[in-house]
Amino acid sequence: MKKIGKQTIKFDNPPTILECNSIVGPKEANGPLSKYFDKTLEDEFWGEKSWEKAESKIIKENVNMLIAKSGINSQNIDCVFAGDLLNQCISSSFGLRDINLPFFGVFGACSTFVESLSLGAICVESFANYVLCATSSHFCSAEKQFRFPLELGNQRPPSSQWTVTGSGAAILSKEGCGPFITHITPGKIVDMGIKDANNMGAAMAPAFSQTLITHFLDTGRSPNYYDAIISGDLGYIGKSIAIDILKNNGYNIKPNYDDCGVLIFDKSSQDTHSGGSGCACCATVFSGYFFKQLRERKLKKILLIATGALMNSTSSQQGESIPGIAHAVSIEL
């Protein structure tokens, strides 16, 4: 691999995304992408006593399903990259504590899935045969931790997003016939001073735009190179801001750009306001929907840019703004 331009890495032997798997909760199962997910849950607890334990079970079972489906002996996987939104990433560490594989915990908030794919791809080209990348989020555990207890029944403002309950995971492989990760553009932290923790799309859109423009400049590509440019969870508001920022910088991404947070729920009937969010938003929509579109050659070139808001409830209470980040992977056949 080699660095091209300012911050993009181009792979000489692009890793294959060998297999993906996704599990989602009941609300996602009622959304427009329902039929693409590998497993849908009937309730948020899945037989567990707490939302945190349920989230751990979701990532655990998703990874188990993925490994079984891939046909790989799990002990041939060289390492795992995983992280989530819970404090100290406990969904991943508890969910994967029995996996018996070298484990790298990562934290990129809702950008975690693409951060994992990026680091996984670096490992596959440099030493690994197989790397597993996984993440999860859970509406109930996230609301409890970042906002208010659900029992309070707080009203959610129109700019708020709905954390996706679920897990998405992928196995990267040195050998394979694609889809290939051909480039990664890891993002920088961008903080434009947005302080409204109920408007994450606005906080993350500048980071998305910076990473995307850098990717275009580094690779010499333009928006129409890709069949689809997909952001992680900017939602309706962030998507609209991102289109404007790109337009002001001379790029028209509108024709082939969409957002996982917009795609996963039906805004008119599901009361999800600005759309989906959470680590699992990008991870389940990619693992469930886009990976299958690539496999079936309905799409041949996509740029997946997951976005993250690197804040917590304490930073908001202390009056801090919300730093955003966005990591991009170019996935091609």
Task: Count the residues in the chain.
Answer: 333
Q: Does 60 bind a second copy (CB under 8 A)?
A: no
* Nearest residue to 289 via CA among 25, 19, 34: 34
Containing H/E element for 168? strand 166-173
d(CA 228, CA 223): 9
Nearer to a second copy, 33 or 306 (CB): 306
Residues in region 101-120 near a second copy by CB under 8 A:
101-109, 115, 118-119
Which of 67, 89, 260, 285 is close enough to bind a second copy by CB under 8 A? 89
What angle is formed at CA 278 by the lines to CA 284 and CA 16, rounded to 5 degrees?
A: 40
Which of 94, 198, 225, 293 is close enough to bind a second copy by CB under 8 A? 94
Binding track, positions 295-314, relative to a second copy; x by CB under 8 A:
---------------xxxxx
d(CA 225, CA 229): 10
Q: Does 50 bind a second copy (CB under 8 A)?
A: yes
What contacts 126, CB < 8 A, 6 or more positions away?
A: 1
Nearer to a second copy, 127 or 148 (CB): 127
CA distance readout (Å), 157 to 150, 267, 274: 15, 14, 9
Residue 32 CB, shortest distance to a second copy, in Å, is: 30
Residue 83 CB, shortest distance to a second copy, in Å, is: 6
d(CA 89, CA 225): 36
Q: Which one of 47-55, 64-72, 225-233, 274-282 is the stretch in contact with a second copy (CB under 8 A)?
A: 47-55
Residue 310 CB, shortest distance to a second copy, in Å, is: 4
Residues in region 122-161 near a second copy by CB under 8 A:
122-123, 125-128
* Nearest residue to 169 via CA among 28, 18, 332: 18
Which of 33, 85, 172, 299 is close enough to bind a second copy by CB under 8 A? 85
Binding track, positions 159-188, relative to a second copy; x by CB under 8 A:
---------------------------xxx
> β-strand 228-231 against 79-84: which pairing, if any?
unpaired
d(CA 284, CA 257): 18
d(CA 135, CA 258): 21
Residue 45 CB, shortest distance to a second copy, in Å, is: 13
Q: Does 2 bind a second copy (CB under 8 A)?
A: yes
* Interface positions with a second copy (CB under 8 A): 1-3, 7, 9, 49-50, 52-53, 78-79, 83, 85-90, 93-94, 96-97, 99-109, 115, 118-119, 122-123, 125-128, 186-191, 310-315, 318, 320, 323, 325
